Amino acid sequence: MNHLLKLTAFLSGLIFGLGLLVSGFFNPNNVLAFFDVFGDWKAGLMITFILSIAISAVGFKTFKNKTKSLMNQSIHLPDTQRVNQKLILGSALFGVGWGIAGICPGPALVLIGSLKVEVIYFFIGLIPGIFFIALIQRKSV
């Protein structure tokens, strides 16, 4: 992989992370306050969410029929349409975990760089969680 592609990959993570920081999305207390509809609800992250979707939509629309990126990389967009039990169960389990701690994978990485040591505990659960499924699936194949 050429160095320019490494740079653009790094920049994409950096810019995305800056977005999580400036909006406060990286701070689990803000995310939990976003879930707190019956209490001291802070709905502002909805603006961040909707805007990020809108910007991303413009980009995907522009790139819809392209097969190569600007740097001649093949574009692989997921084309699975199937809604299955795995999708439903997985999303539900994810939501429970997200609702408990207010942390999802992107913000978790930003929290490492923010030197929030407690986020290590989140990773102690996250990484085995990610491979737990792979292990089960390998056995069932």
Partner 1 sequence: MNYVLGGFGIGIGILTLLFFNGKIFGVSGMIRGFLANPLHENSWRLFVIAGLILSPIVYSIFFYIPSFEIKTQPIVLIVAGFLVGVGATLSNGCTSGHSVCGVSRLSPRSILATLIMMATAFITFNLIRLISA
83-102: contacts with partner 1 (CB under 8 A): 83, 86-102
Are 119 and 111 in contact, with CB atoms under 8 Å apart?
A: yes
Q: Pick from 76, 138, 140, 141 the residue near partner 1 by CB under 8 A.
A: 76
Q: What residues numbered 37-66 form the site for partner 1, per CB under 8 A? A: 37-39, 44-45, 47-57, 59-60, 63
Q: Pick from 77, 139, 140, 141 the residue near partner 1 by CB under 8 A.
A: 77
What's the DSSP call for residue 23?
Answer: H
Q: Cβ 43 to partner 1, closest distance in Å? A: 9
CA 69 to chain centroid, in Å, comes to 22
Binding mask 3-42 for partner 1 (x = CB under 8 A): -xxxxxxxxxxxxxxxxxxxxxxxxxx--x--xxxxx---
Question: How many Å apart are CA 111 and CA 116, to the nearest integer?
Answer: 6
Q: Cβ 85 to partner 1, closest distance in Å? A: 9
Question: How many Å apart are CA 117 and CA 113, to the nearest integer?
Answer: 10
Q: Cβ 21 to partner 1, closest distance in Å? A: 5
Q: Which two tokens stand for residue 45?
A: 């992250």
Q: Cβ 12 to partner 1, closest distance in Å? A: 4
Q: How many residues does the chain have?
A: 141
CA 79 to chain centroid, in Å, comes to 19
Binding mask 115-134 for partner 1 (x = CB under 8 A): xx-xx-xxxxxxxxxxxxxx
Q: Cβ 110 to partner 1, closest distance in Å? A: 6
Q: Which residues are within 8 A (CB) of 113 and not within 5 positions of it... i.e. 6 or more apart?
A: 17
